Amino acid sequence: MSVVCLDGNTRLCRVKTKRRGKTWLIEQDIVLVKPWELQSDIRGDIIFKYTKAQSDWLKRKGYLTLEE
């Protein structure tokens, strides 16, 4: 799936194998992406999905600024 990252890159990301089946992702979810060592500007792995409460806390504390 395509993920828009805060560094301005749009990466093609995959869900790590151990997370597959346990996590459902929808548009507008806040996720943590680990870029690949090779092709780090265009590829990455989704390693964590933030809950609604966690993403609200990040926005409130100023760690996450989204332009909608």
Query: Is residue 31 assigned to a domain?
Result: yes
Q: What is the pLDDT of residue 18?
A: 65
Query: Is residue 15 assigned to a domain?
Result: yes
Query: Is residue 22 assigned to a domain?
Result: yes
What's the CATH code of the domain at 15? Answer: 2.40.50.140
How many domains are contained in the chain? 1
Please tell me the distance from the alpha carbon of residue 30 to that of residue 27, in angstroms, as a whole number.
9
Query: Is residue 68 assigned to a domain?
Result: no
Sorted by sequence, the CB contacts under 8 Å of residue 50 that are 6+ apart come out as 29, 30, 31, 32, 58
Query: Is residue 67 assigned to a domain?
Result: no
- pLDDT tens digit string along 3-18? 998 888 899 998 876 6
Task: Tell me which residue range forms the domain holding 35.
Answer: 2-61
More confident residue, 66 or 38: 38
Sorted by sequence, the CB contacts under 8 Å of residue 67 that are 6+ apart come out as none
- pLDDT tens digit string along 32-62? 999 999 888 899 999 889 999 999 999 999 9
Query: Is residue 25 assigned to a domain?
Result: yes
Q: What is the pLDDT of residue 7?
A: 86
Query: Is residue 66 assigned to a domain?
Result: no
- Tell me the whole-structure pTM to 2 decimals: 0.75
